[in-house]
A and B are shown apart, each in its own frame.
Chain A
């Protein structure tokens, strides 16, 4: 194993479009790394796919059922490469420390960071991969082990 990585939802969505950070996340997913994700990631990313397929918002182009299934298939394959962290009461409780340190608009963000910090207590070398600037910024309050896919890597 090379490194331990905790993939936050935005790390997965980065992979499926050609944009800054996509190649980097490809390497992490396909390399000999130990990967983790919080269970809510499944719902968060799936919601993006469903939005494009069945519930397109203004200015969004929708995708066909076949395209939806293909996106889902790659996402499922990626998830199966990683270890799923359960949303435990300990993780919920950790959200107090996070909100005490700073404000994140989304409860999902708070839980993602909680999940990362608890997982890191078990795997001390764990690195958070995210494309969420707010989340990356607040993570730095706790640890420098964060990679922001929006920055030059």
Chain B
């Protein structure tokens, strides 16, 4: 919001021959202010508050926790197939060490 005062009618009319209030077809001129002289020829223009423009990137791209509810929902959903740790180890008994696979992947990154 910008507040500004004008010290004379002439100065105001030079700068603002007409004013469109709130974007409505309601054009005002100095003639609409017959008592302006009684105000000491000071007219206060208050611009309507504009919608705050988003500055920079949206939160989705900057907040590290954005989407955490979706991830948590997935984790809870995934537990539906839960079996005991022994059942899981029966699966992995036939596999190489998962830790070795993980570390191999890491060490392959140069």
The CA of A52 and the CA of B91, in the complex, are separated in Å by 11
Could you say which residues of chain B place their CB within 8 Å of the CB of A132?
A: 103, 106
Sorting the interface of chain A by its residue count into under 10, 10 to 19, 20 to 34 or 35 or more gives 35 or more
Total A-B Cβ pairs within 8 A: 111
* CB closest chain-B residue, reference A29: B85
Tell whether A118 is near chain B: CB-to-CB under 8 Å.
no
B109 part of interface (Cβ distance < 8 Å)? yes
Interface residues as binary, B93-109 with A (CB distance below 8 Å gives 1, 0 otherwise): 11111110111011101
Stretch of B1-9, B11-19, B43-51, B70-78 lying at the A interface: B70-78
Given contacts A39-B64, A60-B101, A107-B109, contact A74 B95 (CB under 8 A): no
B79: which A residues are within 8 A, CB to CB? 73, 76-77, 80
Instruction: With both chains docked as a complex, state the minimum distance between the C-beta of B4 and any C-beta of chain A, in angstroms.
Output: 40
B71 / chain A contacts, CB cutoff of 8 Å: 42
Residues of B within 8 A of A77 (CB): 79, 82
Q: Is the interface of A mostly helix, strand, loop or mixed?
A: helix
Q: Tell me whether chain B's interface is mostly helix, strand or loop, or mixed.
A: helix
B89 touches A17 (CB 8 A): yes
A45 near B102 (CB under 8 angstroms)? yes
Residues in chain A near residue B93, CB distance under 8 A: 17-18
B102 touching A17 by the CB < 8 A rule? Answer: no
Docked pose: A60 CA to B100 CA in angstroms: 12
Q: Select from chain B the residue with minimum beta-carbon distance to A105.
A: B107
Contact A15 B85 (CB under 8 A): yes
The chain B residues found within 8 Å of chain A, CB to CB, are 64-65, 68, 71-72, 74-76, 78-83, 85, 87-89, 91-99, 101-103, 105-107, 109-110
